[in-house]
Structure 1
Amino acid sequence: VLSAIAIVPATPLLVPELAGAAAAELADLATAVLAGAALLPPRWVVIGTADTDDVVGPDGIGSFGGYGADVRVRLSARAAGPTDAVADFPLCALIAGWLRGQVRPEADAQVRVYRGDHDADTALKMGRRLRAEIDRASDPLGVLVVADGANTLTAGAPGAFDPASPDAQRALDDALASGDIAALAGLPEQILGRVAFQVLAGLTEPGPRSAKELYRGAPYGVGYFAGAWQP
């Protein structure tokens, strides 16, 4: 049974050891992200994107070593110990594991990773299939969406500046703040996490009962949103 949904950005800057001097600037974002994740029950299904479709966890451990610090994370309490081999987790799984350790260390998380180039119809169908699977579970399950908006919002952004991006980011933020799944289904390519947000749209048809914005902003030219939905 689907009981709660949290939406967070896919940024390693949430992790203090990686944020460094930026941690103070990102304090409001981190507070919002932790508040959203804390609303989830002890079983999580995580939605994110990467280069290939995959299912990750809940066993094994991952590390943020590729992002500058060997911060170890786990997707369950029974995952391997600190001396065991580190798996090659995608960023969405690393973020989920870090959040789990911060707000609900007893939780089990399974990460559903989707290729970032799926078309909208395919993403919506995958979301519907995932919802049917969740609805067959007897225990409450929470969904954690780990995805960014546009990374082309300023001249100094990782993807440089795209003049179409500010409008696309505003549309994404407004859709997530209001639970507008039709708008999510129509997201443009400028949105990095487009497929994850469209899987969310299919998962929550005909729409969530409520949607709450906890944070929106674009530090460093990348669109970040944190929020909570009630399905």
Structure 2
Amino acid sequence: MLVAAAVCPCPPLLVPEVASGAAAELDGLRAACAEAVGALLAAGPELLVVVGDGPEAEVWTEGGIGSFHRFGVDRVVRLPAGGVEGPELSPALSVGAWLLEQSGTQLPTHACAVPADTPADRLLGLGEGLAQLADRVGLLVVGDGSACRTLKAPGYLDERAEGFDAELARALGEADTEALAGLDAGLCRELQVIGRAPWQVLAGSARGTGLGGKLSYAEAPYGVGYFVATWS
């Protein structure tokens, strides 16, 4: 059963070694993420599952390793309490592993990569399955909002982006599983939202649990919507 979840964004710039001289610009976001992961751990899960975007549907159950070599940084991260079995973690999951590494947890941890084009019904079903993996499951769900918030954003400016992110922030802050389950895949693709699939996994996991939400960060540095929330 899902007992808690932490929602965090997954820009590689969260990792100070990647951000280098610009690291201080995201100190507030890092602090919010650390607080959310702390709340997740305080709920007492016996199993953690990191869910994030990936090019292929993959699952890591015996540990996993990720790196930031593609960004020119010799930095490696590992899922807690596991080895290095399976393929390398996706970039999003690598950020999730880094967040857990910062927390110091040694709880058994699985990871699940979900491609951006996965249909909603499959994601919701996957979430239901993850929630049944243990009596007390905690999810760390990593994903970004629209990348079209400003003229300098990766996806340029789209006037729909601000409204989309505002509704998304509300849904994450209120643990509104139905709103997340109903996210439009086509619109998310147009707005370059990479969190749609992970958030719908969360919606499936949390249905019927009565979890409440708290939003602690909702901003768009670099023109990309970043959100931090806790469900407990």
Check whether the contact 2:172–2:229 (CA below 8 A) recurs between aligned residues.
yes
Partner of 1:221: 223
How many residue pairs match? The answer is 222
Partner of 1:99: 99
Partner of 2:125: 125
Partner of 1:156: 152
Q: Distance between the aligned counterparts of 2:62 and 2:11, measured in 1?
A: 21
Question: 192, 203, 214: which one pairs with 2:205?
Answer: 203
TM-score (norm 2): 0.88
* Percentage of pairs with the same residue: 37
1:214 Cα offset (Å): 1.5
After superposition, residues 185-196 of structure 1 pair within 5 angstroms as: 185-188=181-184, 189=188, 190=191, 191-196=193-198
Provide closer, same or farther for how the CA distance between residues 60 and 179 of structure 1 changes in structure 2, counting only shifts above 3 A: closer
1:57-97, CA deviations, whole angstroms, 9 ceiling, x for partnerless residues?
543422111123111111124435xxxx9953201221122
Provide closer, same or farther for how the CA distance between residues 108 and 194 of structure 1 changes in structure 2, counting only shifts above 3 A: same
1:177-225, CA deviations, whole angstroms, 9 ceiling, x for partnerless residues?
1111121122232332111111111111136421111211110011110
Q: Distance between the aligned counterparts of 2:137 and 2:121, measured in 1?
A: 25
Higher alpha-carbon deviation: 114-123 or 202-211:
202-211
The letter of the residue matching 1:90 is S
Q: Distance between the aligned counterparts of 2:34 and 2:46, measured in 1?
A: 15
Partner of 2:173: 177
1:96-131, CA deviations, whole angstroms, 9 ceiling, x for partnerless residues?
221121103423321111111022222222222222
Q: Distance between the aligned counterparts of 2:97 and 2:194, measured in 1?
A: 21
Check whether the contact 1:38–1:104 (CA below 8 A) recurs between aligned residues.
no
Classify the secondary structure of the residue corresponding to 1:76. Answer: coil
Q: Distance between the aligned counterparts of 1:208 and 1:111, measured in 2?
A: 24
Gaps of 5+ in 2: none
Q: Distance between the aligned counterparts of 1:4 and 1:96, measured in 2?
A: 16
Return structure 1 stretches of 4+ with deviation > 6 angstroms: none
After superposition, residues 9-48 of structure 1 pair within 5 angstroms as: 9-39=9-39, 40=41, 41=45, 43-48=47-52
Provide closer, same or farther for how the CA distance between residues 86 and 130 of structure 1 changes in structure 2, counting only shifts above 3 A: closer
Classify the secondary structure of the residue corresponding to 1:25. Answer: helix
1:155 Cα offset (Å): 1.0
Gaps of 5+ in 1: none
Check whether the contact 1:57–1:75 (CA below 8 A) recurs between aligned residues.
no
The letter of the residue matching 1:206 is G
Higher alpha-carbon deviation: 85-94 or 20-29:
85-94
Q: Distance between the aligned counterparts of 2:82 and 2:90, measured in 1?
A: 20
Higher alpha-carbon deviation: 187-196 or 111-120:
187-196
Q: Distance between the aligned counterparts of 2:160 and 2:148, measured in 1?
A: 9
1:143-202, CA deviations, whole angstroms, 9 ceiling, x for partnerless residues?
100111111111111111222111111111110011111211222323321111111111
The letter of the residue matching 1:68 is G
Q: CA RMSD in A?
A: 2.0
